[in-house]
Amino acid sequence: MAGNGLKRIFISDLHMNTDESEDPPSGNKYGWIGTERIKALASFVSQIPKMGDVEDVVILGDMCDNWVCPAQRDPAHFLDDILKAGCNESVFSAFHNLPSEVKVHYVHGNHDMLMEGGDLTQQVPNITVLGTGEQPGRFIDDKLVAEHGHRYCVFNCPEQLMPGASILPSGFPVTRFFADHVYRTGEDPGYWEIIVEVLKDVLEDHHETLVKEFLHGMANACGLNNDSEVWCGGLLNYPNRVTVKQFEERYKDDYTNWPERTQTRVGRLGALFNDAGEWGGNLELGAYEQYLAPQEADIVIFGHTHHKMLHARAADEITLGEPIQPSRWIYANSGTWIDKANLATYVETEKDLSAGLHWVRLCGVDDKGNPLSEPLSKACVKL
């Protein structure tokens, strides 16, 4: 395909953490991305100029992470502890060294919603920050929309209904509970298995107090009790020490109050399923309700779930064996770079002006950071 200078790369969920997360006092690493994936990520970013007519690189949130932190440790400061961490230096240098014709954009996710845009641009001056943690940004080009996707999720949408309080949602303490369990035991408590079982029980018996019961179940699964404290280290408008019980009381009405918490088209049941990963449809429901059904976009790209995906809605009936036909719409999820993912992934889009098509490709990266020679899947819509 002839390049038109209109290729874009979308990556998300890098979850770069602190030096300590790789070498903690307990000996149990709790960070989600390790040394080898960091090396691969830096190598991939450095190769972007060789990928042919790349105009934009869009980082769809959770680039950095101060949620994944044990309960008895204060969360990291983004500038000093993560953006300047030695373990992440090669990645930020690679972004900094991209040529000026490659524009780099960043939107907040949930795990980095408290990161100040000025701190990021101080470390990587050529990044343009879209939006804020409180009002997550979007990358928009005509009928393509890309964002992290957490604002369509009950447990991870920024809090808006507690004036003067922190915007951190209930997903923050849940992540702290899990990081604490890993830090203490070296074992992953099995997030998706727990969330499915807890939500089954909650939906059957505790509809109005769903978030409170969810937090309680998650804490217990991670070996914590009502009086267990989570250190919050003076995070914006947050107490220094918060018990599990105080978290439960703080967020108890989040499900009931969902319509008031968010200015989106996504209903509260959909927002609950959006937060349940593969079990809940990988955020495709959020993309459909917010953008695709009202025909505000024909390409939507999210991150957040860590589950790579490309789904195209056919415009017409398809006959097997025929060439790919333009779709009605496309939803793609960029996946993740964390160690648990067996393959690091990204989404690539490209406008073929001569054919009048906008291509979307879900692509993989090998262990050394080299893009795979062929996309995992691809689809197109008409320009």
Distance CA(288)–CA(300), nearest Å, equals 9
CATH number of 7-158+281-382: 3.60.21.10
**Is the entire prediction scored with pTM above 0.85?**
yes
DSSP string over 232-254: -TT-TT--SEEEHHHHHHHHTTT
Collect all residues with Cβ–Cβ distance below 8 Å to 134 and sequence separation of at least 6: 113, 158, 160, 167
Domain boundaries, the chain: 7-158+281-382
pLDDT tens for the 383 residues of the chain, in order:
445 658 999 999 999 999 999 999 999 999 999 999 999 999 999 999 999 889 999 999 999 999 999 999 999 999 999 999 999 999 999 999 999 999 999 999 999 999 999 999 999 999 999 999 989 999 999 999 999 999 999 999 998 755 556 899 999 999 999 999 999 999 987 766 777 766 676 666 656 788 888 899 889 989 999 999 999 987 867 789 999 999 999 999 898 889 888 889 999 888 888 887 655 558 999 999 999 999 999 999 999 999 999 999 876 554 445 557 889 999 999 999 999 899 999 999 999 998 999 999 999 999 999 999 999 999 999 99
Collect all residues with Cβ–Cβ distance below 8 Å to 373 and sequence separation of at least 6: none
The structure tokens listed for 69 are 């932190």
SS3 20: helix
